Amino acid sequence: MVVTWVKKLVRGVALGCVATAVLASAASAQPTSSYYDTAITEVYGSQYPLTGKLDLEIFPDGTLRGHYHTTYYKLYVPVIGGRDGNYIWFDIGPSSIDLGLGAGPEGKLHVVASMNGDGSFRGQVYPETAAVLSGLAMQYQLSPPPPVSQNSNDQYIFAATPAHAEATTAP
């Protein structure tokens, strides 16, 4: 009789420990929210950069999600990607509007960047047109869209600095 009572006590303590561990791991799976002011420029600078806002949720497993909008269009565009240490990558879009680099409607922007110690990041952004994304460019041998300007070399820099004001939630 004492042995069964001890076994029940040990099982209860073990069950309590497992439940506590599960709750602790669920609490640590909460994302970290980050808000950024962004600018897209040509490699050697731009007189008028494409500016916008980027709101991200970064999960402990490295996945990220959020939304982006340019200064001129308040349309919230979905963002998905990942982070591994100081390396961050994500896709902005697809969007129903041209985000400014000739990707056109239903195109995306692919960003690959390195994080800095102050929370900012800087890297390259690659426009991906809807034709490229759907494979039509290869099937019909379509040429890529022309550069934004005659002196453009089709290389763009995406820079993001932490914003101190909290962003509004997406509709």
Are 48 and 75 contained in the same domain?
Answer: yes
Band of pLDDT at residue 148, cut at 50, 70 and 90: very low
Are 6 and 42 contained in the same domain?
Answer: no
Are 157 and 122 contained in the same domain?
Answer: yes
In a domain, residue 171? The reply is no
Are 98 and 24 contained in the same domain?
Answer: no
CATH number of the domain bearing residue 97: 2.40.128.120
The highest-confidence range among 13-17, 26-30, 73-77, 140-144, by mean pLDDT, is 73-77
Asked whether residue 65 carries a pLDDT value surpassing 90, the answer given is yes
Domain count, the chain: 2
Are 13 and 79 contained in the same domain?
Answer: no
As a whole-number percent, the residues of the chain with pLDDT over 70 amount to 65
Are 26 and 36 contained in the same domain?
Answer: no
Give the range of the structural domain holding residue 4, as residue numbers without chain letter. Answer: 1-30
Name the pTM for this structure: 0.68
Are 69 and 1 contained in the same domain?
Answer: no
As a whole-number percent, the residues of the chain with pLDDT over 90 amount to 42
Are 2 and 60 contained in the same domain?
Answer: no
In a domain, residue 23? The reply is yes
In a domain, residue 169? The reply is no
Q: Tell me what pLDDT residue 43 has.
A: 85
Close Cβ partners of 98 (under 8 Å, ≥ 6 residues apart): 104, 105, 107
Q: Are 54 and 38 in contact (CB under 8 A)?
A: yes
> How confident is the prediction for the chain on average, in pLDDT?
77
Q: Tell me what pLDDT residue 150 has.
A: 45
Q: What is the DSSP string of 29-44?
A: TPPEEEEEEEEEEETT
Would you give the DSSP letter of residue 72? Answer: S
Asked whether residue 125 carries a pLDDT value surpassing 50, the answer given is yes
